[in-house]
Amino acid sequence: MEIIDGVPVFGTADEQTMTQIRNCAREASHVALMADNHLGYAVPIGGVVAYEGKISPSGVGFDIACGNKAVLTDMPADEARANIKKIMDDVWKTLDFGVGRNNSSEGPTDHDLFDDDTWKMKAIRGFKDTARNQLGTIGSGNHYVDIFADEKDRVWIGCHFGSRGFGHKTATHFLKEGGAQDGMMVAPLVLDVDSDLGDQYLRCMNLAGRYAYAGRDWVCSKVAEILGVTVLEEVHNSHNFAWRESHGGKDYWVVRKGATPAFPGQKGFVGGSMGDISVILEGVPSELGAQSLYSTVHGAGRVMSRTQAAGKKNWKTGEIIAPGAISREMMQEWLRKKRVELRGAGVDESPHCYKRLPEVLAAHEGTIRILHTLTPLGVAMAGPDVRDPYKD
């Protein structure tokens, strides 16, 4: 870890990402940058920003409570390997991937979160039906459902997604109401938590958090049902959220954008790219951990933008305007070598587009401990014909 302009930086960061975190520091009490950092909208991915009495909708981002869940099952990995094609076919036809998709299975439409009084608030009153229909859908971009084998040859189920259209609409509403600037290199919107708008945002953010957790719970349970397994252990975290925490004797609202909380003893599931390992980790007591406000990475972190990877396309006509750096053949060759069974995915999610997770985790040495290493057997993501309009 290196302190750059007063910012604890794990790993390395380019100048634009550093400019973003410096902008955040102007109104924050403490900031830090995780090793999977890269450019985001107003606040960098991998950014940890702590405020006294304030909250930042820009920091939480558009996909409120996006997170990872992994569950350990009682299935031996050899059984999964022998049946991985059928498993992934069943996952692909049962679950819903893509933008604006409703849950086509018998979804959890009677979940008790829909009885929350927060739905009566004017800001989100019109979002409830959409949220109910989309609960348990995975979305697009880098959101996935994976089947893994760990170092003991046991099967894990993993997923990554957030609060879907409900979260995006909620974030959009509050960013507009708060007068946020649109763009990458702009000051983040910051609200006083005691203001009417700040209080409304916190209530809606927390509801979106419950919603995202319920969706990931449903997906992991559904995949366990497909596999016919019993769940033995669960690890579940959000990484686009704000938590009320105490650090150094002071209370803060800690916003983590693409960063996972990792207090001593707290477990987290951190995903790599589709052709690399993922891990189950936990935080350990350390001064370095305190510098990050006990945070760590949420994934490997991009090294190539989606446009750089896939090129430019006219989504109305399907015409390729400019080719990208990654071909589908390159992506498939990587996966063949790793023996990963893939469903869906565009080349903008190829392993070529990401840092290597072991290198990213090494930058946090001394703050975390790796409990399990997960090797992907099967990966399912939205198809290459799906455009991801979400901003984070």
What pLDDT is recorded for position 315?
A: 54
Q: How much is the pTM?
A: 0.94
The domain 68-232+263-381 having CATH identifier 3.90.1860.10: the answer here is yes
What pLDDT is recorded for position 392?
A: 44
Q: E-strand spans in 344-389?
A: 368-381
Torsion sign, CA atoms 246, 251, 253, 256? negative
**Whole-Å CA distances, 152 to 74, 83, 270:** 12, 19, 18
Beta strand 45-51 pairing with 368-381: unpaired
Q: What is the pLDDT of residues 75-132, one digit of tens each?
A: 999 999 999 999 999 999 999 999 888 888 876 667 999 999 999 999 999 999 999 9
**Whole-Å CA distances, 215 to 18, 21, 38, 113, 354:** 34, 31, 27, 11, 26
3-class secondary-structure state, position 182: coil
Q: What is the pLDDT of residues 128-181, one digit of tens each?
A: 999 999 999 999 989 999 999 999 999 999 999 999 999 999 999 999 999 999
What pLDDT is recorded for position 389?
A: 52
What pLDDT is recorded for position 317?
A: 67
Give the angle 216-221-225 at the CA atoms, nearest 5°: 150
Q: What whole-number distance in Å separates Cα of residue 158 and Cα of residue 335?
A: 18
All residue ranges of the chain with pLDDT < 70 are: 107-109, 315-318, 387-392
Q: What whole-number distance in Å separates Cα of residue 392 and Cα of residue 390?
A: 6
Which residues touch 172 (CB under 8 Å, ≥6 apart)? 62
**Whole-Å CA distances, 228 to 77, 97, 155, 159, 208:** 14, 22, 12, 18, 30
What pLDDT is recorded for position 202?
A: 98
